[in-house]
Amino acid sequence: MKKNFWKIEYSITLFVLLGLIMLFVPVKFENYFQASMISGWNERYNSVAYMFTVINAQASDEILKSFANAKTPEMREKLLMQLVKPYLRLKTSERLPRRYKAKYMNGNRVNKNDKYKFNDLYFSENGMQIVGIKDISSDKENAPWFMLMFDINGFLPPNTWGKDIYGIYIFDEGKIKPFGYNESLERLSEDCSPQGTGINCSYYYRIGGEFYD
């Protein structure tokens, strides 16, 4: 009788332990994944900052004049592509399948007319990452010229802003800033949450903001 009772008690304890493992392991994996993506994003941002330092040092007056004289967004994108392609190792001959769809952190799809919809997407780093390039047409002084999007783990999910997708503004003279650089800390925290878009996580994580478990 005591032996059977011990077996029952042992089984209950085992089920409880398995339940706790199943409860906490996904959370730990999610935390590990997010920390890995943030680390990858910070590395990518630093490499892009260095890239433009090198480009600025080597850029000729002819190249700068070409940007100033470019009459269409397509022309400016083409010029930018010529500059960054060797550094980002873009595969311009290999386009992404149409099934690649980006999402916001709140789960909503990025629609075709959204500001953060990138049509020109390329594989980079031997297909391990995805890079998007977009021209910004603006008459405002000191406005950014381009936007760069980086999907840190490429075609793999979740393909979500603030999780594995982050972005950079490119300004005149090759200066760069992450999306959300001009937002308040409160606004950054609100947007970089399950209820937000995740766009501003690009800057929030750069200044040490914590991600949601």
Is the distance from CB of 179 to CB of 202 less than 8 angstroms? yes
The enclosing H or E element of 42 equals helix 2-58
Q: How confident is the model at residue 71 (pLDDT cuts 50, 70, 90)?
A: confident
Q: Stretch 167-178: mean pLDDT, rounded?
A: 90
Nearest CA to 179 out of 196, 158, 157 is that of 196
The two tokens of residue 124 are: 């980079």
Strand, helix or coil for residue 204: helix
Q: Which of 64, 170, 192, 165 is nearest to 110 (CA)?
A: 165
Of the candidate ranges 8-22, 50-64, 168-182, the one whose mean pLDDT is the lowest: 8-22
How much of the chain, in percent, has pLDDT values that exceed 70?
80
Residue 184 confidence (pLDDT): 95
* Residue 23 confidence (pLDDT) above 70: no
Question: For residue 128, is pLDDT > 80?
Answer: yes
Least confident span in 11-15, 46-50, 63-67, 174-178: 11-15
Handedness of CA 69, 174, 50, 75 (dihedral sign): negative
Report d(CA 178, CA 133) in Å as an integer.
14
CB atoms within 10 A of CB 179: 27
